[in-house]
Structure 1
Amino acid sequence: MKKLRVMIMEDDNVLASALAELIEVLGHEIVAVEASESAAIASAAFAKPDLMIVDAQLVEGSGVNAVDAITRAGPVPHFFITGDARSLRMLKPEAIILQKPYFDSDLIRAIALAVGISA
């Protein structure tokens, strides 16, 4: 898999740090870690990520709304991480969704699925 420029949207600092560390161990680059909808939208325009890993619910705003706004400018591969996959599936039936808690192997599969390669 080629090195990806990854943006993380996660409002829990501990989870965001652990996720960023794992993404870097996998050989990818973290271009932004944002905790709010507005910051994520601004960062995506600047950083131009190859992949977004998105917590569906943020303390300030929504990861779902941020993705909708970001992808209006063009497609960006992404997947959602959530504690409530059922509700998100009803809202976004076509989305790639990773249910919290998850294993590293699940994350690797989600990345591969989002960028269109086999894991």
Structure 2
Amino acid sequence: MSPGRRILLVEDDVLIAMDLADLLIAMGHDVCHIASTETDAVAAAQRLAPDLLIVDGNLAEGSGVSAMRRILARGFVAHFYMSGDTIQLLKAVPDAVVLAKPFTLHALTTAMDTATRARGGQ
């Protein structure tokens, strides 16, 4: 994946969000916003037009899956989900690109590359 992507991170765990944002920045990407709720994710996606969304499937306020459905209703944007429960997430979105938590750097970059190439998981 080429560096310089504008990434919207949707994660409600502050420590995971901060660590992942730091890692993405170190990789040369721009984390344009960290959303912690479904409502914030939808609004930020519309306002910021990111290149890629990295979305926690389960949020304390709302759902990452529901947020992506609302975002994708306006047009496709590359995205993938992160989840500690990949089986449940894939039941909800069978064609999704999913990164299992915890993850390795290799798994993260693979998910980013796959999501950028795919239009599935809508």
What TM bracket, shorter-length normalisation? over 0.9
Counterpart mapping for 1:1-119 below 5 A: 1-116=2-117
2: distance between equivalents of 1:16 and 1:50? 18
Equivalences, count: 117
Question: Contact conserved, 2:3 with 2:27, CA < 8 A, in 1?
Answer: no
**Counterpart amino acid of residue 17 in structure 1:** M
Q: CA RMSD in A?
A: 1.1
Q: Using structure 2 for the length normalisation, give the TM-score.
A: 0.93
1: distance between equivalents of 2:103 and 2:75? 29
Q: CA deviation at 1:106?
A: 0.5
Q: CA deviation at 1:91?
A: 1.1
2: distance between equivalents of 1:2 and 1:45? 22
Cα deviation, 1:48-69, whole Å, max 9, x if unaligned, reads: 0000000000000000000000
**Counterpart amino acid of residue 69 in structure 1:** R
2: distance between equivalents of 1:33 and 1:52? 10
Question: Contact conserved, 2:42 with 2:70, CA < 8 A, in 1?
Answer: yes
Unaligned runs of 5+ in 1: none
**Counterpart amino acid of residue 87 in structure 2:** R
Q: CA deviation at 1:2?
A: 4.4
Question: Contact conserved, 2:9 with 2:34, CA < 8 A, in 1?
Answer: yes
Q: Using structure 1 for the length normalisation, give the TM-score.
A: 0.95
Secondary structure of the residue that 1:11 maps to in structure 2?
coil
Secondary structure of the residue that 1:106 maps to in structure 2?
helix
Q: Percent identity?
A: 37
